[in-house]
Structure formats: structure tokens, C-alpha cells
Amino acid sequence: MFNVAVIGATGYVGAEIIRLLQYHPEISVSCAVSRSFAGKPYSNIYPNLKNIFDMPLSEVDIDSLCEQADFFITALPHDASKDIIPELINRGKRVIDHSAVFRFRKKQTFEEWYGTVHEMDDLLKLSVYGLPELYRGSISQAALVANPGCYPTCAILGIAPLLANKLVYTTNIIVDAASGISGAGRKSDLAYSFCETHENFKAYGVTNHRHTPEIEQELSSLAGEEITISFTPHLIPIKRGILSTSYLNLKDNNMTPDKLYKIYSEFYKNEFFVRVLEPGVFPEIKNVAGSNFIDIGIAVDKRVNRAVVVSALDNLGKGAAGQAIQCLNLMLGIDEKTGLTHPATYL
Amino acid sequence: MFNVAVIGATGYVGAEIIRLLQYHPEISVSCAVSRSFAGKPYSNIYPNLKNIFDMPLSEVDIDSLCEQADFFITALPHDASKDIIPELINRGKRVIDHSAVFRFRKKQTFEEWYGTVHEMDDLLKLSVYGLPELYRGSISQAALVANPGCYPTCAILGIAPLLANKLVYTTNIIVDAASGISGAGRKSDLAYSFCETHENFKAYGVTNHRHTPEIEQELSSLAGEEITISFTPHLIPIKRGILSTSYLNLKDNNMTPDKLYKIYSEFYKNEFFVRVLEPGVFPEIKNVAGSNFIDIGIAVDKRVNRAVVVSALDNLGKGAAGQAIQCLNLMLGIDEKTGLTHPATYL
Amino acid sequence: MFNVAVIGATGYVGAEIIRLLQYHPEISVSCAVSRSFAGKPYSNIYPNLKNIFDMPLSEVDIDSLCEQADFFITALPHDASKDIIPELINRGKRVIDHSAVFRFRKKQTFEEWYGTVHEMDDLLKLSVYGLPELYRGSISQAALVANPGCYPTCAILGIAPLLANKLVYTTNIIVDAASGISGAGRKSDLAYSFCETHENFKAYGVTNHRHTPEIEQELSSLAGEEITISFTPHLIPIKRGILSTSYLNLKDNNMTPDKLYKIYSEFYKNEFFVRVLEPGVFPEIKNVAGSNFIDIGIAVDKRVNRAVVVSALDNLGKGAAGQAIQCLNLMLGIDEKTGLTHPATYL
Amino acid sequence: MFNVAVIGATGYVGAEIIRLLQYHPEISVSCAVSRSFAGKPYSNIYPNLKNIFDMPLSEVDIDSLCEQADFFITALPHDASKDIIPELINRGKRVIDHSAVFRFRKKQTFEEWYGTVHEMDDLLKLSVYGLPELYRGSISQAALVANPGCYPTCAILGIAPLLANKLVYTTNIIVDAASGISGAGRKSDLAYSFCETHENFKAYGVTNHRHTPEIEQELSSLAGEEITISFTPHLIPIKRGILSTSYLNLKDNNMTPDKLYKIYSEFYKNEFFVRVLEPGVFPEIKNVAGSNFIDIGIAVDKRVNRAVVVSALDNLGKGAAGQAIQCLNLMLGIDEKTGLTHPATYL
């Protein structure tokens, strides 16, 4: 058994990691760390885990943590991580981080969009963007993995085959997406209270959401040229799940859904967690929520010769905790799917 | 008091008309017609109206109906209306119809998208598209008003000022929208059951939804040239409300949200039911659900010089029943706002 | 027009009062008071009211308020009210208060259940329990009305005819109830966040909810003897509505639903807002939410000779804001139903 | 690997069995049977299982089925099962049935409450009530197990320790419960459509729900005397989960929550799936939904000397599919917990 510590274990991403690791045959959670709840049994905070994971939450004590675990998953606010992650890396530990700090190749991108100074840019050269479908090899060797954002994972995997195969123009790309409310984290903000969100739907972060440059960085990398997109997220009154609908202008006037289906199937032929749906079938959140799958459906809007790609995943699954475990499996050198093959709940 | 008959009174649109007319000081529902429930008190079907509107539902008997009402609102399946509407028009009655049959200037558009023969095309020349903000004058004189679709109302009013003022290119227009489930009508389909829709979100009608040509017709008319768009509707697990996010490429590189706000405010300065939100503020469904308002927020995506317009309305309100009553008020020659000034419930 | 000030206008009860008063033909809101948001337009907080009620929120300035209004509705936390209500009463203003402070005949009951000292017990002799169906006469003359709790209104009106007619034993009375989340008020507590409440259901306040003694006080008064009950509230993932199911042992072995229906219909024959449903029909929250109605359905569990009473209302309607306006109408000497006759939204 | 066939595999209970068996290390689904969808891949009906369980659905062909499986789980409408279950039993197969047909010791009870003739009463003497916590030994040997109803499982396990220890009076027992909508099955009835159920809550089957006699049978058996109860189910707008609140009068005036907690803990000390919560803590559906756990919280209403027991489970988990697999594990002679130890999703 590999020993893993989860730092920031009581947020929703942390909780999903803890929950998913209960199914994992080769990983043991040796520490669950939380400043707010240190000393309390984990199942006091998440009573669904009563009699399953009752371990008391630990303080943030680097020495002690390093004795207990070789691998770390951090799900922390941006500023908390700078006291912790460099320490872990210095001691030779391997880390998967959920913040945005290590996702960008250029520290300037981070600083512009997050409005803060990047205080760990020396670690940027170590870090790998944790999207196994694109960076599997590097992830398996990485000391520091930046787990991707939920919207970026959904958009990038949905669009990748079109750009990698140079099937679309790189201008006029639009990503319109919607997320369940757990994407905002475990927060007591009024804006995420039941009465303010139920029976509601809204756009937010219009033209300025921080996942925009992350999507652009990876799309640009796939296309081999700089891409700028429009990205609009929306808030759905559901607990978990992201669905994104992307619009890209096709170069070939004779493209068909069948051809695209073959191209996508070929592109993802070795990817267990990417399910390309047959022409005419589109993803639904209930088919991925609770799982590590991303489902992708592709249409051709003939009248305007535009590809419309719909992709869906669980923001806590393939969009965060599931993907982190997929990366961790790679880092451990075990089957990438271990502990992650359960289907969505549907109901 | 004006006497109005509602034919197809037990669907969700019919029910909303009946409910809204309880607030109306100058209109009386003289007949509520339903094939399925004829003879039963209306409040047996909608017990929220017990002791408020208990009138027994009527059979479809044209002679009898024509004695009881001068104005008719029809909310019928497409094929049922052809036995009824021409009869009503022949007898000099004035009709507001909720189907798509009379919405298109060209019968071919209807026939292509609806896959059926248009059997009442002689009435097309009489019919007026019931969007008061664009066709107020004609509506007030019309014998036959085609009440617009819910998505089209939301998209057209959201985009109109941009096209009317020739601020955007007419290609690469994308309308991405989402609707509550009442938009599907009062149906017992498994697909709209609670367990299949709750905690779910999906796209549907991708590249082929029937509201596409309706949006295109009106956008083309505003622009003075043929416009083809991409339109993707989604299904939100809420009862009522539509929100659409539209993307249009701006001609002027120096456009700002403030300028657009002024342009929109000017365009809609006399429109009580259109609320243009200040720059940086965007609509939410809870602010319009239950009301006849449409809220519009506008952003400029500077990096790509694109306008992003978010508009929201209640698919049963401004998107159907409310708009029908607004048209009816115009036809009656009374204040267009009568009986429609109540705010959304928010909660 | 009568001038009314609403103090505590931005909580959910305050917001519902403001919203409902938009429909009211004889009452004008002359001041909306809020410490937190003073100076801001009301529609900034509740954008559903944009262009309908944009009045800036006022500070709590008793002198100024007393110049602007003769009637006050207070929806304040318990401790805020003691600086305000006595002042208003001293200046001859008439007040409807939403807190529990003035609901109990004995200050000891309040002090025991609320764990605090009653600092305004001299006002208790003035105050009237604001349930018009039981205390119409006193309310119309009252200087100070204690608007009842939401659960108590639902339970008391559901049970009243049985006790008033001495049809049931006064022991073994059980009230099991469930409420929508707006009952907790406009709060940013994690416990009321979307992710913690959606797809959930739980009991709370088991054996110790503060509405228990309020229900008991009124049931005792109806029965003419001390009654102690078991009351268990539950939290439903809906915005608004309360439904309570009460169990009472019948004295007469031959009681039938038909007989009970007649007894209830007789008891409430003059009560517009109380709808007694026919035998076999039971209330649903969607039939009352948004309205001032309470629906009551009655069954006889023959095998155990027990009455099962199901009653439902809107916790913000008949359970709070609607009832307050009903009381206010009585205090103003106008038709009690004014501005309150709209039906539930159903959808 | 043991081979199991699931007959009626496309209803919600069947789907949950199929989903849960994907986690099971010793059971293989050799056939999934569905009249309506025979020939189609299972994942066409439930696309969450795409690439996980794509087996085509089988026709109902007893000979063929008996070659492929030794154990059968049937989740069929009552009248379909009579052509199938006797055949399976005759051929020596072992069956777990989800209908009510084999749950009652007396066929008269079934016939009275279900209003139909019991056509398989010769099988009644073989059948065992599939509640492992009460009938573990018999289940392990049974040819035919009647999987309990969802409400009965929740109520019986909640109340059992009180009756088995003779701590309460056997009269005035009230069970008030609420269920998610999946309890109604996979149905296209209007009554279970999204728009009719969302933001709603209602009682149903008041005084006559068919789970009443099932609860009574088991409570009577535990008490050693005939018990008649009042049972009222309600419908919650959630997908899955049941919570029941039961009221029982205590014999001992000095009973405390601590004592009851000890008694419950002792009674269930060997039961992994029954979690007795500490005094003052009560179950929530999110802590059990998706799992095979039942959580129980106990209060003492001192003022009336009444025990209030709140119990919660997943109607598709411990209330149906999970419990069936728990029984199946017993029948197979393997660890009862196999494949069932995953926690609830919470989110």
C-alpha cells in the first residue's frame, strides 16, 4: 500500500478524494489534514463516512506529515500552499496540487488573471499539467503535478481532436459551459445558499473567468499557435457536473458527424475515461456524475459549417478528485484506472 | 370587461394564462376549453386555483364558444388548431395562437423545419408575429397573432439592438441557451420525469431545434440581410425560465460595455418589460421567473472584440402566457402593461 | 393610501412583504429599513424588483420613520427589536412584529424555550396573536400584533376544528412537519448552502423546536385544557412551503372523513384563506406556495380510530408575510383579503 | 464467480443492482432481462454504464436463463412474476424477489391490501423475509427471499430495539416517513414528472399505503403481539432516500437518550450496515444515499415520555438493491458485506 496524505481534506474536492480512496486497493490515506477541524474524526465532518473513515484530522505539521506519507494531494487556497508545497518538494515528496499556481507555463499568465504575485515560480519548471490524456508520460515522472481546472478539462478534451488534426479555424472558438454548485467549493456564501441558487440559472465570470487562460494555453499548445477564445460559465442548480458546448468553424465543407466520430474515436482509442458518443447522441451530466468519465458528443452544423462539441464530466470527478487519483496512479506506476472504474450513479 | 376564451387551457401555457388573468382588471375568462378534461372544474386540474377559478372546462364547440367570447387564445398541438383557428377567424374573432404555424413569413420555412404540410397558409398574410417590442402597431390591429416561441423571444430581444444599429457582423452569431422543463409542456414522457431530469443538464436539438429558423427570420429582418446562426438549447432542472448567452463579433474595435449599455437603454427606452442591466450586471432566472420581464446584460470580450449578451425571461411569462396577454392588451386597445406588472417571485 | 414602514426589509420575510405590497391597492411602502443595506436601492438587493421598487433602504431612525409611516411591520432578530418596538408603541404607532417575543401569553414560556430574558413583558398585555381565523376581532383593534410562526399557523389551523369541537383526546397528539429552506431566513450558513441541502432531507430540532410551545399554547386555548404535544420539523430541499401531518386520537368510533369534512367546512365557512379539501384529497405545497392560502385534508385511520390531518401553506405567505398583510388589512379596517387573493404559482 | 441473472433489469431497482454488481468481486451478471428492451445493449438504456456493462438485454426465456445463472433477482410487476418465479424455483434456482407477493406470512394480508388473489401461496412457506438483521440464518438457506419494502426496512430497523426490549407500549405507534421519487419506479406518469414534483411536497397513501401491513407484521413479530400503526408516507423532490420519524410511548419514565443509545448499540453491535448515531445526532439522507447503510438517531421527548426515532436509508440501496445483494451474499455463503461497503456520496 502506498501512503498518501491529503492536505485540505475537508473541502469538497478533499472529501471526494477521501471518498474515492476508500475504493482504492493500493492507496491508503495515512493523513487527512485540516486546519479548521484538526483533532476531530473525519466522519464528524462527513458523516457519510462513519465507520468507514473515522481517522482524526491532522494539523499542518510538515515534519510529522513527511514521516507518514510519500505522496501528497493538496487542495488548498492559493496563499496557504506557498508555506507547504515547497517544503514537501524539498524533502523529496511528490505532490499533486489542486490550485491554479502551477498550471501555467508562464508565471505572467497566472499573475495577470489571478491578480497576485507568483511566489513559487521556481517550481514552475518542475510542474506538469495533470491531464493524463495529453501528458501521461511527464505525469508519471513528475515531482509536482498541477491538477487541471474542471472547466478546462471538460473543454480541452472536448476540443483537442479538432485542433490536433487541424480540422478547424483557430479564431471564433466559443466555449459555453455550465457547472454544478460544488464547483464553488464548500462555502457559506449567501450566493451559494439553497434559496439563492435553486430554481435559478445565471452566467458568471462573463469574459473574465480565470479558467479562460488555462483553456487557451492548452488549446494553443494543441494547435501550435496562439488561440484566444470566448468562455462563459453558468451556474446550474445541481450538486455536481459540468457540461460544455463548444463552437468551432470547420475548414472542410464536407465534414460529417460520422467522420468526426471516427476521428475522435481514433484520437481517444486508448483512453478508458474518454467516451466518444455515437453521432446524434450527446452527453448528459447524470451519465458522468460520480465517475471519472468524460463523455463527448459531436455535431456538425451544416448550414454554417461549424462543429458543435458537447462534453460532460463530474467537476469533482474527472474535473478534480478523480483526475488527481488518475495522476497519482500514474506516479505510482500502477494501472491508471485503479480505483476509478465505477460508473456514474445516474440516479 | 372583455371576454376571452382559452382553448387548450390545461397545458402549462394555458394554465399560466388562466392564472395571470386572475390578476387582470379588464379581462374575464369566459371559457376554458379542454378536450381531455371537459366538464371538470378547472381547479380539479390545477388545485392552486380552488375557490378562485372553478369554472368547468368546456368542449370544443365553435358555435358555443363564439357566443361567449370575442377574443381567443389558443394553445394547441399543431394539428388540432387547423379545425379551429380558421373557423374563428371566419367569424370575425381575433386570435392569439401559441403554435408555430403562423410565425413564419414563408410557409416553406415552417414545412422544412416542422416536416409537415402547412394547411393554413392563406391565414399567413393576416398573421402578425406577436413580439410587441418590434411589432406593436401591427399587433394592435391584427386578427391573428402568432405568439413567438420562448427561445426566440429571449434571443431576439437580446440581440436586436446590435443588429438594428449595425454594430456587429452577421456571420458567426451563436446563441447558446438553456430552459426550464416546463418549456416541454405538460407531458408524461419519461424524459421529463423527475428522476431523469433532476441533478442533470444536457444539450438537446443540437443543430436542429425548430426555434432556429424563427430566431433567424427575425434577426434577418432586423439586419436587413439573411442571417444564419448556430443555436443550442439545453435543459435545466428548474421549472421555469430561459437564459440565453449570445456571441456576436463587433465591428468597432473601441466598443465598450458603457456604450453598449447606452445603445440598449436607448433602444428599449419605452419598453417597460425589457430591463437593460448596468454594465457588469447579468440576468438571473430568479429575477424574471413568474413575471413578464426580460432582463438583458451585455459584456464586451475585449480580447476577441466580441459582444456577449445574456438575456433571461420566464418561458411561461414573457416567453408565452405573459406575452400573449401583452398582445391581447394591445388588441383590446388598453394599456399594454395591464395585469402584467407584478415582479418575479425571486424565491 | 396607508403608509407602512417595513423594518428588516431585506430578509426573506421582509422581501416577501415588499413584493406582496406591490399588488396592494391601498397600502404604500413609505420606508424600507435595513441596517446592512441602508442607502442602496432596494432593487439592488432584490433585482426582481428593478423598475418596480427601487426606493433606497433607510437607516433605523425612529423619528424619521415615525414621520413617514403610521403602521410598521418588523422582521428583526430578537434582540434588535427591543430598541425599536417600544419606541414605536410609545408614539402611538401600530406594529406587526415577526419575532417570537410577543407570541406567548406567559413570559416564562418565552424565557424557557428561547433561553433569554424577556425584556418587553410590559408590552405582552397589549399584544395579540396574529391569527385572524382565531383572533380577528382583537387584531383589528390591536396596537401590537405578534405574527405567528409558520409551523404554528399550519398546525393550529389544521387541528383547531377537532379540538374546538372536542372530537379528539388531548393526549397523544403528534405534529410531524416539514418546511422549505427559506424558513431559515436569508442566511449564509453552510448548513443552508445548496450543496448541503439539495437531494437531502432531515429532521431537526427534534423534541426541542421553539415552535412547540407556540402550538401548545393555542391548542390548549382551543381545548380549554393544557395540551402537550410531540412536534418534529424536517427540512425539505424546496424554497418555500410547509406541510404538516398531525395525528390525533378520535373519541367517536364512528367518525368518518365525510363527517369531518362537514365539521371542518362549517368551522371555516367564512374563511377565504382556509381551503378544506374534499375527503380523499390532500394538500400539496405547489398549490399554496406564493399564495396566502392554507389547504387542509383530513383522513380517518379507521383501524386505530385516529384522525390524520394534513395541512399546507407557504411559510413566507400565510406563514409570515401574507398573514402579516392580512392582519394589517384588519388593523386598517379594510377587506382582509385586499392584495392577497392571487393563487399559488403551481409551477 | 457466481452467475446471477437480473429479471426486470431496466427499472430503477434493476439498474441499481446492475450498477452495484459492477463493484462486486464475486458475482457476475450473466443475464440482464427486459421484455421492453430485449436485444439492446444495457448501456443504451443507462448510458452511465457505457464501456462498463454493454451486455445486450435478454428475452424472458426460462430455459435459456436457467442455463446461464443459478441465482436470480427479480424486480417485476406483481403479475409478471407468477409465470417466472415458480418455474425458477421448480428447477432448483434460488430467487430474490422484489415484489410484495412473498413478504406476508398470511396470504390474506396480501390479498386484502393489494386487492388481488395470491396465486403463488404454495411458495409462501418457502419464502423468507429478506431483512438480514432479523432473519440472517433463514436467508442464508432460503430458496426464495422476499426482499422487503423500502419504507418497511427503514421503519422496522428503526423501531426494532424498542419492541424487542419491550421498552414501549404497543399502541399509539406512529410512523411518519418521506421518500425520494425513485421509489415510484421508472415511470412516465405525469404525477412523477419534474414540473409536478419539483418544489413540491405532499403526503400520499394516507391511512392506506401498502407498506403498512408489512411494517405491522414485523413489528408484531418483534413484540410478540399484534400491533397496528398509523403510517403516512410523503414524497420529497429528491431522487433517492427515505427518512422515517417514528413515535412510540415509553414505559419507563426515566428513560434517557444515553440509555437508548446503549440499548440500540448493543442490539446492532454486529450489524455493519446499521449505524446508531450518538445522542443528539440525527440521520440525513445525504449520509446514506448511494450506500447500503441505515442511520438511526434516537430522542426522548421527556415532556410526553415518548421515544422519537429517526431512521434513514437509500430506498434503492438498503431499501432495495443493496439489501438484495446483502441477501445474495448470505445465500452464496460469502461475507455479507462484499461489494457493499462504499459510503454514500454526500454530494
Q: B150, B154, B195, B327: which one is catalytic?
A: B150
- Sign, CA torsion A140/A143/A147/A153: negative
Q: Which of B16, B45, B193, B286 would you mutate first to test chain D, the one with the most D CBs within 10 A?
A: B193
For range C315-326, the mean pLDDT: 98
Question: What residues of D are in contact with residue B238 (Cβ under 8 Å)?
Answer: 198
The alpha-carbon gap from C344 to the nearest alpha carbon of chain B, in Å, equals: 5
Mutate to test the interface with B, among D46, D194, D345 (most CBs of B within 10 A): D194
Residue pLDDT, tens place only, B148-171: 999 999 999 999 999 999 999 999
| Torsion sign, CA atoms C106, C325, C180, C265 | positive
Confirm if B301 and A230 have CB atoms less than 8 A apart. yes
What is the CATH code of the structural domain delimited by D151-314? 3.30.360.10
Distance from the Cα of residue B284 to its chain's centroid:
18
Task: Convert the pLDDT of each residue in D88-97 to its tens digit.
Answer: 999 999 999 9
**Beta carbons of A155 and A149 less than 8 angstroms apart:** no
What pLDDT, in 10s, does the model give residues C128-157? 999 999 999 999 999 999 999 999 999 999
Task: Say whether the ipTM exceeds 0.90.
Answer: yes
Residue B184: which of B176, B192, B174 has the closest Cα?
B192
Averaged pLDDT, D331-340: 98
What does the pLDDT read at residue C185?
A: 95
Per-residue model confidence as pLDDT tens digits over B308-336 = 999 999 999 999 999 999 999 999 999 99
Q: Which residues of A touch C237 (CB under 8 A)?
A: 194, 198
| Total count of residues recorded for chain C | 347
* Residues of chain A with C-beta less than 8 angstroms from the C-beta of C194: 181, 192-194, 197-198, 237, 239
Residues of B with CB below 8 A from A199's CB? 238-241, 285-286, 289
How many C-beta atoms surround the C-beta of residue C254 within 10 A?
9
Strand residue runs (E) in B225-347: 230-235, 242-249, 274-276, 294-301, 306-313
CA–CA dist C330, C90 (Å, integer): 21
Tell me where in chain D the CATH 3.30.360.10 domain(s) lie: 151-314
Nine cell digits for residue D202: 405532499
Under an 8 A CB cutoff, do A193 and C198 touch?
no
Query: Which residues in chain C are contacts of D245 at CB distance < 8 A?
Result: 176, 203, 232, 234
Which of B189, B190, B194 lies nearest to residue D198, judging by beta carbons? Answer: B194
Contact C50 B290 (CB under 8 A): no
pLDDT digits (tens, 9 = 90+) for D236-295: 999 999 999 999 999 999 999 999 999 999 999 999 999 999 999 999 999 999 999 999
Average pLDDT over residues A186-207: 97
| Residues in a beta bridge with D247 | D174, D308
pLDDT band at D229 (very low <50, low <70, confident <90, very high): very high
Question: Residue D340: is its pLDDT beyond 80?
Answer: yes
Residue D77: is its pLDDT beyond 90?
no
Contacts of B201 in chain A (CB under 8 A): 178, 236, 238, 241, 243, 284-285, 312
Q: Which residues from C are below 8 Å from A when comparing CB atoms?
A: 12, 181-182, 186-190, 192-195, 197-199, 237-239
Do C68 and C29 touch, CB atoms closer than 8 A? Answer: no
Do residues A20 and A26 touch, judged by C-beta distance below 8 A? no
User: Are C286 and D249 in contact (CB < 8 Å)?
Assistant: no
Pairwise CB contact (< 8 Å): A198 & C195: no
- Catalytic (active site) residue D150: yes
The string of pLDDT tens digits covering residues A32-79 is 999 999 999 999 999 999 999 999 999 999 999 999 999 999 998 777
Distance between CA atoms of residues C26 and A342, nearest Å = 62
Q: What is the pLDDT of residues D98-125, one digit of tens each?
A: 999 999 999 999 999 999 999 899 999 9
Neighbours of chain C (3+ CB pairs under 8 A): A, B, D
| Cβ contact, residue pair C48, B19, below 8 Å | no
Residue located via cell numbers 418588523: C74
B24: helix, coil or strand?
coil
| Contact criterion met (CB below 8 Å) for D319 and D154 | yes
Which residue of chain B is at minimal alpha-carbon distance from D187? B190
- Chain C's closest residue to A194, CA to CA, is C194
Give yes or no for residue C78 having a pLDDT over 80: no
pLDDT digits (tens, 9 = 90+) for B170-219: 999 999 999 999 999 999 999 999 999 999 999 999 999 999 999 999 99
In a 3-state reduction of DSSP, which class is residue D41? strand
Other beta carbons less than 10 A from residue C217's beta carbon: 20
Spatial neighbors of C162 by CB under 8 A, at least 6 apart, are C168, C248, C260, C307, C309
B230, B240, B282: residue with CB nearest A308 = B230
Find the mean pLDDT for residues D154-177. Answer: 98
Question: Does A308 contact B206 at a Cβ distance shorter than 8 Å?
Answer: yes
Radius of gyration of chain A (CA): 20
Is the separation of the CB atoms in D172 and D227 below 8 Å?
A: no
Of D48, D199, D275, the CB nearest to A50: D275
Contact between chains at C193 and A195 (C-beta distance less than 8 A): no
Residues B60-70 as b or e (16 or more Cβ within 10 Å = b): beeeebbeebb
Q: Tell me: pLDDT of D181 over 90.
A: yes
The domain B2-148+318-332 is classified under which CATH number: 3.30.43.10, 3.40.630.20, 3.40.50.300, 3.40.50.720? 3.40.50.720
Q: Mean per-residue pLDDT for A311-337?
A: 98
Shortest Cα–Cα distance, D213 to chain C (Å)? 11
Using a 10 angstrom Cβ sphere, with 0-12 exposed, 13-18 middle and 19 or more buried, the burial of residue C185 is middle
> What is the distance in angstroms between the Cα of C174 and the nearest Cα belonging to chain A?
29
- Smallest Cα distance from C342 to chain B, Å: 7
The percent helix, strand, coil of chain C (3-state, each to 5) is 35, 20, 40
Residue B79 has pLDDT above 90, yes or no: no
Return mean pLDDT, chain A. 97
Distance from D4 to chain B by nearest Cα, in Å? 27
Give the pLDDT confidence of A115-126 residue by residue, as tens digits: 999 989 999 999
The mean predicted confidence, pLDDT, of chain D is: 97
Q: What is the pLDDT of residues C186-204, one digit of tens each?
A: 999 999 999 999 999 999 9
Whether residues C201 and D289 touch (CB distance < 8 A) is answered with no
How many interchain CB pairs under 8 A, C with D?
146
| Interatomic CA distance for residues A267 and A165, integer angstroms | 9
In the complex, which subunits touch D with 3 or more CB pairs below 8 angstroms? A, B, C
User: Do residues C110 and C101 touch, judged by C-beta distance below 8 A?
Assistant: yes
Whether B202 sits inside 8 A of A299 (CB atoms) is no
Count CB-CB contacts under 10 A for residue A314: 32
Active site residues of C: 150
Neighbours of D27 (CB within 10 A): 23
Cβ B223 vs Cβ B170: under 8 Å = yes
Prediction pTM value? 0.98
Question: Between chains, do D176 and C176 touch, taking CB under 8 Å as contact?
Answer: yes
- Over 80: is that where the pLDDT of D132 sits? yes
Which residue among B172, B180, B202 places its CB closest to the CB of A243? B202
Residues in contact with D135: Cβ distance below 8 Å, sequence separation at least 6, in sequence order: D128, D129
C-chain residues near A15 (CB < 8 A) = none
- Range(s) within chain A of domains with CATH label 3.40.50.720: 2-148+318-332
Cβ distance of B195 and D182 shorter than 8 Å: yes
CA–CA distance, A182 with A347 (Å, rounded to integer): 18
Which residues are paired to A275 by β-bridges?
A295
- Residue A225 burial by Cβ neighbours in a 10 Å radius (0-12, 13-18, 19+): exposed
CA-based nearest residue in chain B for residue C347: B239
pLDDT at C61 over 90: yes
On the question of pLDDT at A178 being above 80, the answer is: yes
A interface mutation test: which of C46, C186, C194, C199 has the most A CBs within 10 A?
C194
Chains interfacing with A (3 or more CB pairs < 8 Å)? B, C, D
| 8 Å CB contact of B243 and A199 | no
How many separate helices (H) and strands (E) can be counted in chain C?
12, 13
Note the pLDDT of residue A82: 87
**pLDDT recorded at residue D154:** 98
* C37-C42-C48 Cα angle (round to 5): 130
Nearest chain C residue to B21 by CA: give it. Answer: C342
Check CB contact under 8 Å for B282 and A202. Answer: yes
- With beta carbons less than 8 A apart as the criterion, state whether B229 and A172 touch: no
- Helix, strand and coil percent figures for chain D, each rounded to 5: 35, 20, 40
b/e per residue D274-311 (b: at least 16 CB within 10 A): bbbbebebbbbbbbbbbbbbbbbbbbbbeebebbbbbb
The CA distance from A344 to the nearest CA of chain D, in Å, is 5
3-state secondary structure of B107: helix
Contact A343 D19 (CB under 8 A): yes
List D150, D154, D195, D327, catalytic entry? D150
